[in-house]
Amino acid sequence: MNGQKTRRADGAERQGAPRSAGVKVTDLSVVYEKGKEHFTALANLSFDIEPGEFVCLVGPSGCGKTSLLNILAGFLESTTGTAIIGNKPVGAGDYARGVVFQEYALFPWRTALSNVEFGMEVRGISRKERRERALRYLEMVGLGAAAQTFPHELSGGMKQRVAIARALAFDPDILLMDEPFGALDAFTRDELQRMLATIWQETGKTVVYVTHNISEAVYLADRIFAFASNPGRLREIVAVDLPRPRDTFSAEFASIERYVTSIVHPEELVAESA
C-alpha cells in the first residue's frame, strides 16, 4: 500500500462488535485543475478499513484528508482509482453514509427531534418508527429531555450531539466525521469524545474521522492514518492497541501521541530537542 508502514502498539485488542461496511480504496488520486495549473490533493492512495473499525485521518492542512472524506461521502469524484463501501462503489445516490460536519448543519426551524428525524423522512420511514428511533438516539447522546428544543436554544456541544444522533438514526453503514469537535471548547470536546467512543462501541459502526488533534486521534482510533502533503499521500498507518476507555495520562498514550506527532509534524520535535 504505497510503502506505508503499520506500527503496532502494546495493549488490549479493540473492543466493539463490527456490524457495518468496510472500505476499500485502490490507487485513488484527486487532481484539481484551474486553467493550466494542476494541484494534486491525493496521490495513489490505497488502503482497507475493516467493518466496525474506527479510523482517524490526521495530517497537515492541504494533505487531502477532507477531499478523501468527501469522496467517501459521495460529494466529490476521484480523478483516478476507486473507492468501495461494503461491496458497492461510492455514489452520491445511496444512503449508506452518515456525515457529521464541524458546522452542525441543523435546520433552525426544526426541533432537535425533528432534525434527527430528517434523514428517515427522506427514506420514507413511517412517522411512528422515525419518532421512536429519533428519541432513542437523542437519549443515546444525552439529549432526551431537549427533544422539543430548537437549535438556537442549544449550546455548540448540544448542537453537535443532535447532528451525531441524526447521522446515526437512519442506521448508515458508515459514519464520516469532519472535525466535528474542532470548534468546541476543550471541556466540551473531551466530554463528546468520551460520548462518541461509547456510542461507537454500542453501535459497532465503521467510523472515518478527520481531525487535526493528535491526542483526540489516539483517544478514539483503532488505527491512525497519518498523511503528508504536497502531494497528499498516506505516509504511515499507526495501530492504537490500547484498552478502552483510554487513559490519556498514561505513558503508553503519550508514547503513541509523540510517535504520530513525529510523523505528521516532525519539525515540532526538532524544535523541542534544539
Structural domain boundaries of the chain? Answer: 5-96+178-273, 99-171
Please determine, for residue 96, whether its predicted confidence score (pLDDT) is greater than 90.
no
Cell numbers of 188, please?
466540551
pLDDT band at 274 (very low <50, low <70, confident <90, very high): very low
Residues sharing a CB contact under 8 Å with residue 110, sequence separation 6 or more, in sequence order: 118, 150, 151
Cα separations (Å) of 31 from 38, 71, 230, 274? 7, 13, 12, 38
Percent of the chain with pLDDT over 70: 88
Of 62 and 138, the one with more pLDDT = 138
Q: Which of 260, 261, 262, 250 is nearest to 12 (CA)?
A: 250
221 closest CA partner among 189, 251, 260 = 260
Cell numbers found for residue 145: 429531555
Question: Is the confidence at residue 119, as pLDDT, over 50?
Answer: yes
- Separation of alpha carbons 85 and 32, rounded Å: 24
Least confident range from 30-39, 89-98, 157-166, 172-181: namely: 89-98
Strand partners, 24: 48, 84
Task: Name, in order, each residue with C-beta under 8 angstroms of 138's C-beta and a sequence gap of 6 or more.
Answer: 112, 113, 116, 144, 146, 147, 162, 165
The enclosing H or E element of 156 equals helix 156-169
Flag whether pLDDT at 6 surpasses 50.
no
- Res. 170 pLDDT band, cuts 50 70 90: confident
| Alpha carbon distance 146, 135 (integer Å) | 10
Please give the distance of CA 213 from its chain centroid, rounded to a whole number.
12
pLDDT at 23 over 80: yes
Which of the four pLDDT bands, split at 50, 70 and 90, describes residue 9?
A: very low
Q: Let me know: does 87 contact 255? Beta carbons within 8 Å.
A: no
What pLDDT, on the 0 to 100 scale, is given for residue 93? Answer: 62
What average pLDDT does this structure show over 231-260?
A: 95
Architecture, CATH, for domain 5-96+178-273: 3-Layer(aba) Sandwich (3.40)
Task: Report residue 271 as a C-alpha cell.
Answer: 524544535
Note the pLDDT of residue 97. Answer: 87
pLDDT digits (tens, 9 = 90+) for 210-229: 999 999 999 999 999 999 98
232 vs 10, higher pLDDT: 232
Q: Which residues contact 36 (CB under 8 A, 6 or more apart)?
A: none
Q: How confident is the model at residue 145, as a pLDDT?
A: 94
Using alpha carbons, list the distances in angstroms from residue 268 to 181, 241, 258, 263, 265. Answer: 23, 25, 10, 10, 6
Mean pLDDT of the chain: 87
pLDDT value, residue 267: 64
Residue that wins the pLDDT comparison between 39 and 138: 138
